[in-house]
Amino acid sequence: MTKQLKIDPRVYQISILSSLIVYGFFFLDFEIRPNFFFLIIGSTLFTQYICTKLFTDSSFDPKSCLISGLSLCLLLRTGSPSIAILCAVITISSKFILRFNSKHIFNPTNFGLVVIMLLFSNAWVSPGQWGNAATLGFFIACFGFLVVNRAARSDVTWAFLLIYSTLVFARSIWLGDPFAIPLHHLQNGAFLIFTFFMISDPKTTPDSRAGRVIFALLVALGAYFVTFVLFRTNGLLWSLAVFALAVPIIDMIVPGIKYQWKKLNLKSIQINGEVPAR
């Protein structure tokens, strides 16, 4: 007899993001002020509620917007409460407004951050805030892996990780630099969080596996270009925002089945010695 335990992967993601906030706040001196935390979370929930009422017939579900809100708390840095609120509103409302073929186009957090950084000079993202502690990277990677694996779209993460790492290592080999340099670059917590939490968003990645690999390739090339050719910061965020626009085209070329958040079979518990069916 097999008993199925069903848990929404977003719950995992929420708890991991929350843990990262706690870790960042207490151990890495993140500039997360408690009032901003509540402002952002409150604004995302409120916007989600209003938008759900305005644009859909479904009931209010706080999970996805909590993920966006927590991600904003981890990434957005600003001294202005109104910018924090605006960013939260843009982030959530983009999901409801910027849609194509009944999918939202941008990863909401990514879109909110990019728009706010373009509009205001006193909003920024600190990619250096995580440091390069290998242990931290390891834990983020593992936990992140857990999430993407549950969300069944880990292929985009692995493809991106592989392609971007190859680019960074190839550059180092070409330059004759020691491997400590690309390793240092890839151990950055911001990179790992992007890879495991942001690019993997199943709602904004292409529907087919081939499409997702193409998407990962584009994002990796774009990020590399911004970082190593244009010498600008936050290449990952800019690249993801730009290539999100390519997702509808990729879906047209290599169509697949649209993703729906649903409870996945997290664990099959074996009872009475029976092997659970796959």
Partner 1 sequence: MRNNILVLTLLLFAVMSIPKDSFGFCGFYVAKADTKIFNKASQVVLVRDEDKTVITMANDFKGDLNEFAVVVPVPTFIEEGQINIGDQKIIDHLDAYSAPRLVEYYDENPCERYKYDRALEESALPQSVLKNKNSFDNEKLGVTVEATYTVGEYDISILSAEEGAGLQKWLSKSGYKLPKGASKILDSYIKQKMKFFVAKVNIKEQGKLGYKNLRPIQVAYESPKFMLPIRLGTINADGYQELFVYVLNRKGRVETTNYRTVKLPTGMDIPTYIKNDFGDFYKAMFDQQVEKEKMSTVFLEYAWDMNWCDPCAADPLSTKELRDIGVFWVGDNSVNKNKRIAPSPAQNVFITRLHVRYDKEHFPEDLVFQETGDRSNFQGRYVLRHPWQGTDSCAAANDYFKGLIKRQEKEAQVLANLTGWDINKIRNKMDIKTAVIDDKKWWQKIWSN
Residues in contact with partner 1 by CB under 8 A are 28-29, 31, 77-79, 120-124, 126-133, 174-178, 180-181, 184-185, 188, 230-233
Give the residue with the Cβ less far from partner 1, 31 or 274: 31
* Three-state DSSP class for residue 275: coil
Give the shortest CB-230-to-partner 1 separation in angstroms: 6
Question: Which residue's CB is nearer to partner 1, number 27 or number 60?
Answer: 27
State in angstroms the smallest separation of the CB of 42 from partner 1: 23
Give me the least distance between CB of 120 and partner 1, in Å please.
7
Closest separation in Å from C-beta 122 to partner 1: 3
Task: Return the number of the residue (39 or 67) whose C-beta is nearest partner 1.
Answer: 39
Nearest Cα residue to 147 out of 3, 29, 278, 19: 19
**What are the backbone angles phi and psi of residue 199, rounded to the nearest 5°?**
-65, -20
Q: How far is the CB of 212 from partner 1 (least distance, A)?
A: 28
Q: Which helix (H) or strand (E) holds 267?
A: strand 264-270
What is the Cα–Cα distance from 241 to 250, expressed in whole angstroms?
15
Please name every residue paired with 278 in a beta bridge, in sequence order, or none if there are none.
none
Residue nearer to partner 1 on the CB measure, 28 or 210: 28
| Residue 153 CA, distance from chain mean position | 12
Q: Closest separation between CB of residue 161 and partner 1, Å? A: 19
Euclidean distance between CA atoms 164 and 158, whole angstroms: 10
Nearer to partner 1, 152 or 230 (CB): 230
Rg (CA), the chain: 19
Question: Which strand (E) or helix (H) includes residue 144?
Answer: helix 134-150
Q: In the complex with partner 1, which residue's Cβ is closer, 16 or 117?
A: 117
Q: What is the DSSP letter of 269?
A: E
Taking the complex as a whole, how short is the minimal distance between the CB of residue 189 and partner 1, in angstroms?
9
Secondary structure (DSSP) of 51-105: HHHHH-SSPP-HHHHHHHHHHHHHHEEES-HHHHHHHHHHHHHHHHHSEETTEES
Where does residue 2 fall: left (phi above 0), alpha (psi -120 to 50 degrees), or beta otherwise?
Answer: beta
Find the shortest distance in angstroms from Cβ 117 to partner 1. 10
Nearer to partner 1, 177 or 274 (CB): 177
Other CB atoms within a 10 A radius of the CB of residue 201 amount to 26
C-beta of 189 vs 202, nearer to partner 1: 189
Centre a 10 Å sphere on the Cβ of residue 261 and count the other Cβ atoms it contains.
14
CA gap 201, 57 in Å, rounded: 23
